[in-house]
Chains A and B, each alone.
Chain A
Amino acid sequence: MTTEKNDNNEITEDQVTVADEFQAVAQRSLWADAYERLARNKAAMLGLFISGIIMIAALFGPYIKPYDDLEINLFNIAQNPNGDHWLGTDLLGRDVLSRMLMGARTAVFVAVLVSFISNVLGVVLGAMAAYFGKIVDDIIMRVADITFAFPDLLLAAFISSSARRPVIDFADKVREATGWEVLENTVFIDYTMVFGALAIVSWAGVARLIRGQVLSLREQDFIRAEVALGATGWRIIRKHLIPNSIAPVIVSISAGFGGVMLLESSLSFLGLGIQPPGASWGNMVSSNMDKWRAYPLLVAIPGVVLAVAVFGFNFLGDGINDAINPRQIKR
C-alpha cells in the first residue's frame, strides 16, 4: 500500500519535499524488502543452495547421468564407490549415481506438480468459499474438515492403492479409443496416481488459508473504500484481493514443497507410490532396507540425499515465510 499515490490538490512546498522523501523510501517495494531479508538469512541461503543443486540435478539428470539408470549388470553388483561408479552400484548392478539423478527428477517433478495442483485447487476453492459464502462456503469447508480428519499419509496411500486399478482400466479404454501410446506406460500412471493422491490430501490447508485471507481482506477499510467509490467486483478482485493474497500463497507453496517431497518418498517407501523400476529415493531406501547391515551405503546414500533435499527446501520455505511476514519474527 506504500506505493499508492496521494491525490491531494493543495500541496504546499514543504509537503512536497516530505512527500518526495517518503517516495524515496517507498521506492523499495514489498518484494525488494522481502528479497533483502531473505538474502540476509544464512539458513535460507543454505536452503537455496541445496534446492538449487537438487533442481539442477532434476533438470539435467537424464543428460548428465553416466550410465543408464535401468541397465542391469549382474557382473557388477553392490560395488563400493569407485572411479567408474562414483556412488557404487546396487544389488542389480545399476549405477547408484544415475539412479539418484533420476530420483531427483521424480522428487522435484512430483513436488512441483503437486504443489501446483493443490495450490490452484486450494486458491480457487478457498476464494470461492469466502466470496460466495453461505452454502458454497459450508460445502467446501466441510469437505476440507473431512480431508483434515484423515491421517494424510494413510489417505494418500489408500487413494493410490485403491484407485490404481480403475485408473489403469480407464487409461486402457482411452488408449483403445484414441490410440495414445503414452497411456500404455505404467510409470506414467504411477505418477498420475501419486499426483492425484497427494493433491487431494494437501489442497485443504491452502483453501483454509486463502479463505481466511479473503474474509479478513473483505472487512478492511481500503476495500470498503473501493466499494464506496463504486468499484466493480472484478476490479476489487484484480487490484486488491489477488495482490494481497499472493504472499500467503507463495509462503504456502514454499513451505509445503519439502512436505510434498517427503510424502512422495514415504508413499514410494511403502510401495504405494512410484513403482520399481522407476527411480524414487523412497523406494531406493525401501528396496535395500532389509540389507542395511551388509550394504549400509545403499540405504544411506538415498536416505541422506532425501533428508538433505527436504531439509534444504524446508529451510528455504521457512526463510521465505520470515521474509514475507516480517511481523512474525519481530514479535
Chain B
Amino acid sequence: MLQYSTRRLIMLLPILFFVLLITFTLGFYGPGDPLTTFFGDDAFMADDPELINRLRRLHGLDRPFWVQFGDYITGYFKGDLGNSIIEKRPVLDMIKAGAPISAQLGLAATIVLVFTGIPLGVLCAVKQNTWVDYWIISFSISLRSIPVFVLAPLLLIILVLKLGVLKKTPIGWEGIFSQKVIIPVLLMAAGPMLGIVRMARSGVLEVIGQNYVRTARAKGMGERMVISKHIVKNSMTPVMTTLGLTMSGLITGALFVELIFGIPGVAGLGIWAFKRRDYPVILATTAMGSFLIIVANLLVDLGYGLLDPRVRYE
C-alpha cells in the first residue's frame, strides 16, 4: 500500500509538469504579450520600440522559451506565481483571497450532492424500473442538461420577477451562512448530481442481489435495516470513483456561478482573467484546477483500497 502510494505520487510529477508546460506554452504563444496588455490603451507608449525593448529586457521577456519556462516552473515550486498584469499584484495573493471562498462553496455543494444524490440513487435502485426510478433519473438528466448560465437567470426570472419570493438579486459574497449562498450552491450541485445518482444506483443494484442481503432478510431483519446496514454501506465504494468527475463538474459550475453572482472566488478570478487576457492569472488558475482534479483522482485510487479490502494493488 505504502509502496503503491509513493509510486502514484511520483507518477503525478510528470503529469503536473506537462500540465504546467501546456498552460505555459498556450500563454506564451497566445495573443497580446504581457507588455501590450500592460499598456492597454496607452498605445503611444507601445509605439516606442526602444522603450519596449528595455522593458522586455527588464522583465526577462526577451529570453528563450525554455529559460522562461524554467523560471516559471521553479517559481511555482517556491510559491511565486508571478504578478497579475492587470491588477499589478502577486497572483498568489489574489488566489489566497479567493480560494477560501471557492473552497467553502465547493464544500457546501459537495455536502448537498452527498446528502441528496446518494439517497436519490439508493431510492432509484430500491424502486428499480418503477416511475420513481424513471423520474429521479430523468430529473437528474435534466439538471445535467441545463447549463448553469441558463438555470441561473431562469431561476432569477422565476423567483424575482414572477413569484416575487426574492426581493433583490442575490449577488455578492457575505460569508457561507448568508442566504445569498443558497442559489449558487444548489446551481453548483446541479451538474454533477447525475453522476452521483447513477453510481449510487448501480452500486446498490450490484449489492442488492448478494447472498448476504438475502440472509439478512431471511433472518428476519427489517427492510429498513437491511438497506441501511447491509446494502448502502457496502455499495458506496463505486460512488467514490465519481469524485474525480465531480471535482471537474464542481469547478465548471463554480466558473459560471462565481461569474454570474459576482462571488470573488478563484474560479471567477480565472474567468475574469480570460476575459481580460491576464495570462499569469489564467496560468495559475488553470494549473490549480488541474491540480485539484489530479489530487481528487489520486484520493479515489488510494481511498478505494481503504474502503474495500478486497482491492489489491500490484
- The residues of A with any CB-CB pair to B shorter than 8 Å are 43, 142, 145-146, 148-155, 157-159, 161-166, 258, 262, 265-266, 269-272, 282, 285-286, 289, 292-293, 296, 299-300, 303-304, 306-307, 310-311, 314-315, 318, 328-329, 331
Please tell me which one of the listed residues B150, B160, B282 contacts residue A304 in the complex, with CB atoms under 8 A apart.
B150
A149 partner, pick from B141, B147, B252, B293, beta carbons under 8 A: B293
Chain B residues near A282 (CB, 8 Å)? 149
- Whether A153 pairs with B142 at a CB distance below 8 angstroms is no
| A161-B153 contact given A151-B289, A258-B145, CB 8 Å threshold | no
A321 vs chain B, min Cβ distance (A): 11
Complex alpha-carbon distance, A310 and B161, angstroms: 26
**Cβ contacts A to B, 18 pairs, < 8 Å:** A150-B19, A150-B22, A151-B248, A152-B252, A154-B255, A154-B289, A158-B23, A158-B26, A159-B26, A262-B145, A270-B274, A272-B274, A285-B150, A289-B153, A292-B156, A293-B160, A296-B161, A311-B142
Contacting pair A166 B277 (CB below 8 A): no
Question: Is the beta-carbon distance between B202 and A154 smaller than 8 angstroms?
Answer: no
Interface-side segment among B27-35, B73-81, B302-310: B27-35
User: In the complex the two chains form, is B150's CB within 8 Å of A165's CB?
Assistant: no
Residues of A within 8 A of B154 (CB): 299-300, 303-304
- Which of B5-38 touch A at CB < 8 Å? 14-15, 18-19, 22-23, 26-27, 29-32
The distance from the CB of B208 to the nearest CB of chain A, in whole angstroms, is 9
CB atoms of A151 and B293 under 8 A apart? yes
Could you tell me the distance between the alpha carbons of A262 and B293 in the complex, rounded to whole angstroms? 21
Residue pairs across A and B with CB atoms within 8 Å: the count is 136
A305: nearest chain-B partner, CB-CB: B150
Q: Given A153-B255, A270-B274, A285-B153, verify A162-B27 contact (CB < 8 Å).
A: yes
Are A161 and B274 also in contact (CB < 8 A) when A151-B248, A331-B206 are?
Answer: yes
- Whether B147 contacts A310 by the Cβ 8 Å rule is yes
Min CB–CB distance A288 → chain B (angstroms): 9
Tell me if B's interface is mostly helix, strand, loop or mixed.
helix
Cα–Cα, bound, A292→B149 (Å): 12
B138 within 8 Å of A by Cβ? yes
Query: Is B141's CB under 8 angstroms from A318's CB?
Result: yes
Are B144 and A146 in contact (CB-based, < 8 A)? Answer: no
* B286 contacts chain A at the CB level, 8 A cutoff: yes
For A271, the chain B residues whose CB sits under 8 A away are 275
Chain A's closest residue to B275 (CB) is: A271
Q: Please give, as numbers and ranges, the residues of chain A lying within 8 Å of B160 by CB-CB distance.
A: 293
B234 at the interface (CB under 8 A from A): no
Instruction: Check B153–A300 contact: CB distance below 8 A.
Output: yes
> What separation, in Å, do the CA atoms of A247 and B154 have in the docked complex?
37
Given A151-B252, A300-B154, A310-B147, residue A158 in contact with residue B31 (CB < 8 A): no
Bound CA span A155–B27, Å: 12
Q: How far is the CB of B257 from chain A (nearest CB, A)?
A: 13
Contact call A300/B157, Cβ cutoff below 8 A = yes
CA distance A20 to B144 in the complex (A): 48
Contact with A along B253-277 (1 / 0, CB 8 A): 0011001100000000011001101
Pick from A150, A293, A303, A306: contact of B293, CB below 8 A. Answer: A150
